Structure 1
Amino acid sequence: MPTPNNTVTLMINGKTHGQWTNYDIVSDLLTPADDFSVTLGRPVDAVPTAVKEGDKVEVRVGGDTVLSGRIDRVHTTTEKGNKTLTIQGRDDAGILLDCSAPLFNAQDMDLNQIIEKIVKPLGLSKIRIDAAKTNKTHKVQIEPGSRAWDALTQYAEANGVWPWMEPDGTLVVGGPDYTTAPVAELVLRVSGDNNNIKRLEVERNMAARYSEVTVLGQSHTGKHNIKATAKDESLKLSRPLIVTEPDVDSQAEAERKAKKRLADSRLEGLTITAVVQGHRTDGGTLWQPGQRINVLSEPDGIDAVYFLMARTFVGGRGQGTETVLTLKEDGAWVLDADPPKKKQGAGKKDGKKTAHKPSENRKANGQAPVKPNKRRQAKKPKQELQVI
């Protein structure tokens, strides 16, 4: 199998720029506007590259586009006979984060109508809603001057979904598909056999965890006594939280809000950070948030499937290439998105998609297949959340 191409290049105004001294490319489902930063050292008498702030840019790893957006900042430093050029930018969600939402009456509008009002006027045309159903929201308060991204997320959360940008510049409003097969297996054994994790950090945090969340609400029609409680049966300590929501249209919405608050607290309870070599899985797929990954770590007692929430590509000329993976509990984020049913896989055979098999890819690379002890099958974890 040929060596994967992890060369990072920027396509700007039809020209390809590369050979960066340093680079980092960040993608995070929880942070609006993925960003990149590249640095290039050059002789002081070299002609500056014709790159300007505001230019459209595609960031590529090998032949794959990982970010589409615009350049935010071009910075040069000249000292001791050398010049350093730094280019920074974000994906196309950057304009939603920077600019205000237009003023309009948003009452009784569904998500499609909201996107027409908020997103398209700012120049985003490639949009996909990955939700089987979206409802009209009777009242979501948007203050004059609110950022477009904040307004969009308010309406998205009211429908139990979340927005993010795909590498090709498509704005997606939906949620993860927890039925897809894991794309890779990360291994850290005490013996060192077949390890492919360079560094692993595991953080368990109780500060943001709650045993139950109660939402008290009142609808815009004046209906009182709307109450919903969601409980996390896996948390044995009593850590209750009561939240007041002034605009709740129905009992079902109160239940969804309580469930989301509890799921968010559970999401904060565990963070796994893994550093791996290169920017691709053994099968050649680029690491991308939204993937599911098997993790086996004997020192930490971990053997389960986790959800890739964020990743950062780092490297540069004369350096090794690394990827920092941020993993969260599988099945704990955006529980109510209900994405349209579709079959997905990491590869195709005879026109049909097939599930990724890490051991087969390692064998193709000339590596011994991973043989974890009593490996559990990848499956959607049971959520121990109870709504009252």
Structure 2
Amino acid sequence: MAELVELLAAGRSHAGWESVSITRSIEHAAGGFSLVVSERWPGVEAPRQVRAGDACELTVGGQTVITGFVDEAESDLDAASHLISVAGRDKVADLIDCGAVRKSGQWRGLRIEQIAAELAAPFDIRVSADVDTGKALTSFALQEGESVFEAISRAARIRALLLVSDGKGGLLITRAGETRVATVLEMGVNLLSCRVKLDLKDRFSSYLLKGQAPGTDWLSGASAAQVAAKAADPGVRRYRPLVITADAPDIAATLQQRAQWEANSRAARSLTVTGKVQGWRHAGGLWAPNTRVKVVSEEQHVSDELLVTGVEFSLAEGGGSTTTLTMTRADAFTLLPLKAPDAQGAFWTLPAKGEAK
């Protein structure tokens, strides 16, 4: 049985959707939705009054998954039917779409969440962090023409942090999740399909971060002007170095974090495992991004715990409800050095013959 999907907009709850697509991802901070239905549904006499620009809240089985605004509202009328299409995104989308504006454009001695909160305040978007964001930044300045989200993302990269929507209209500063889903996904059992893609074009054998440390009474001259850090990706077997200039002055220890983050996040984005399952829930609740799940597809040499980076709930007339999970390596977006690939060149391993999965 399909989950009840309700859109609260213009002071009224709208349900009975015939077609549903809901996406949430740690790669794209603003979740989105697209809904289609006939203009009226049983039990409601008035036609739907959903307009582009309306504030809205989308729930699945009573659980809020998106809080934001309606971007599009379309009416499609012909002799046989009258369909209403509605699409929208999380409130965080305004940070992605809009430019960063501040009189001075520069901060000194503030933590990343403080900078983010100040930039997000004009949009009435709260900022929270569920991890330690590190020491205050010595200095941070806006770049000409960048969006609010781009500015906050630059600051977040300095401390190897993720920016995601909290689903309730706020921006959450976090890192790769540790929550594990008890359900094992296995091809031919509960995994309807599985696609594995490995793309190495944006990965490099080494990452050299160069920057400047803030000068003090005890640190000056060349020692302050030149700091560097290096991280390696053992999965790239030929010589492919990448040199990156740090976004802001900082200490060498932070540059080392950033170098390792660059290696890990690029390795993560190179591997995409896409799986489809029936329904929108596992044994513990709704599927959600930034969780971990064991995936087994022996023909594709996959038998490992993966990080869920994106979730798409779909409902199509006659097709039932399905969830498409986008996944990558479980060590993605961490600050731990990357492990080397196995002899097959993969970052997962099949169990040995006779070994339990």
Q: What TM-score do you get using the length of structure 1 for normalisation?
A: 0.78
Residues 199-252 of structure 1, C-alpha deviations (whole Å, 9 max, x = no match): 110011121222211122234657333221111234433322222336442211
Partner of 2:136: 136
Q: Please list, as runs of the form range in 1=range in 2, the aligned pairs for 1:218-233 lying within 5 A after superposition.
A: 218-219=212-213, 221=215, 223-233=224-234
Partner of 2:218: none
Q: Does residue 1:56 correspond to 2:37, yes or no? A: no
Partner of 1:120: 121
Q: Does residue 1:285 correspond to 2:282, yes or no? A: no
How much does 1:98 deviate?
2.3
Residues 277-322 of structure 1, C-alpha deviations (whole Å, 9 max, x = no match): 11011x1510000110001111112111000000101113443101
Q: Is the 8 A contact 2:10 2:49 kept in 1?
A: no
Q: Is the 8 A contact 1:291 1:308 kept in 2?
A: yes
Partner of 2:262: 261
User: Residue 35 of structure 2 aligns to which amino acid in structure 1?
Assistant: V
User: Residue 205 of structure 1 aligns to which amino acid in structure 2?
Assistant: D
> Secondary structure, in 3 states, of the residue corresponding to 1:108?
strand
Q: Please list, as runs of the form range in 1=range in 2, the aligned pairs for 1:239-250 lying within 5 A after superposition.
A: 239-245=240-246, 247-250=248-251
How much does 1:91 deviate?
0.8
Q: Please list, as runs of the form range in 1=range in 2, the aligned pairs for 1:68-107 lying within 5 A after superposition.
A: 68-103=67-102, 104=104, 105-107=106-108
> Secondary structure, in 3 states, of the residue corresponding to 1:258?
helix
User: Larger deviation: 208-217 or 318-327?
Assistant: 208-217
Partner of 1:215: 209
Q: Is the 8 A contact 1:128 1:171 kept in 2?
A: yes
Q: Please list, as runs of the form range in 1=range in 2, the aligned pairs for 1:19-38 lying within 5 A after superposition.
A: 19-38=16-35
> Secondary structure, in 3 states, of the residue corresponding to 1:153?
helix
Q: Is the 8 A contact 2:177 2:292 kept in 1?
A: no
Q: Please list, as runs of the form range in 1=range in 2, the aligned pairs for 1:292-307 lying within 5 A after superposition.
A: 292-307=292-307
Change (3 A) 1:286 1:375: farther
Query: How far apart, in 2, do the equivalents of 1:304 and 1:323 lie?
Result: 20
Q: Is the 8 A contact 2:109 2:136 kept in 1?
A: yes
User: Residue 207 of structure 1 aligns to which amino acid in structure 2?
Assistant: K
How much does 1:64 deviate?
1.7
> Secondary structure, in 3 states, of the residue corresponding to 1:119?
helix
Query: How far apart, in 2, do the equivalents of 1:218 and 1:224 lie?
Result: 5
Q: Does residue 1:202 correspond to 2:190, yes or no? A: no
Q: Is the 8 A contact 1:140 1:154 kept in 2?
A: no
Partner of 1:360: none
User: Residue 321 of structure 2 aligns to which amino acid in structure 1?
Assistant: T
Residues 9-66 of structure 1, C-alpha deviations (whole Å, 9 max, x = no match): 21223422122221100101111311101112348xx964111222221212222221
Structure 2 spans left out of the alignment, 5+ residues:
216-220, 337-352
Q: Does residue 1:17 correspond to 2:14, yes or no? A: yes
> Secondary structure, in 3 states, of the residue corresponding to 1:40?
strand
How much does 1:264 deviate?
1.9
Query: How far apart, in 2, do the equivalents of 1:10 and 1:246 lie?
Result: 41
Query: How far apart, in 2, do the equivalents of 1:161 and 1:167 lie?
Result: 18
> Secondary structure, in 3 states, of the residue corresponding to 1:197?
coil
How much does 1:81 deviate?
4.0
Q: Is the 8 A contact 1:130 1:173 kept in 2?
A: yes
User: Larger deviation: 308-317 or 48-57?
Assistant: 48-57
Aligned Cα root-mean-square deviation (Å):
2.4
Partner of 2:163: 163
How much does 1:155 deviate?
1.8
Q: Is the 8 A contact 1:183 1:292 kept in 2?
A: no
User: Residue 322 of structure 1 aligns to which amino acid in structure 2?
Assistant: T
Change (3 A) 1:373 1:170: farther
Provide the aligned length of Structure 1 versus Structure 2: 328
Query: How far apart, in 1, do the equivalents of 2:186 and 2:86 lie?
Result: 35
Partner of 2:185: 186
Partner of 2:275: 274
Q: Does residue 1:177 correspond to 2:152, yes or no? A: no
> Secondary structure, in 3 states, of the residue corresponding to 1:140?
strand
Q: Is the 8 A contact 1:162 1:334 kept in 2?
A: no
How much does 1:139 deviate?
2.8
Q: Is the 8 A contact 1:186 1:296 kept in 2?
A: yes
Query: How far apart, in 1, do the equivalents of 2:289 and 2:136 lie?
Result: 29
Q: Is the 8 A contact 1:19 1:317 kept in 2?
A: no
Structure 1 spans left out of the alignment, 5+ residues:
337-371, 377-388
Q: What TM-score do you get using the length of structure 2 for normalisation?
A: 0.84
Query: How far apart, in 1, do the equivalents of 2:113 and 2:228 lie?
Result: 29
Partner of 1:66: 65
User: Residue 242 of structure 2 aligns to which amino acid in structure 1?
Assistant: L
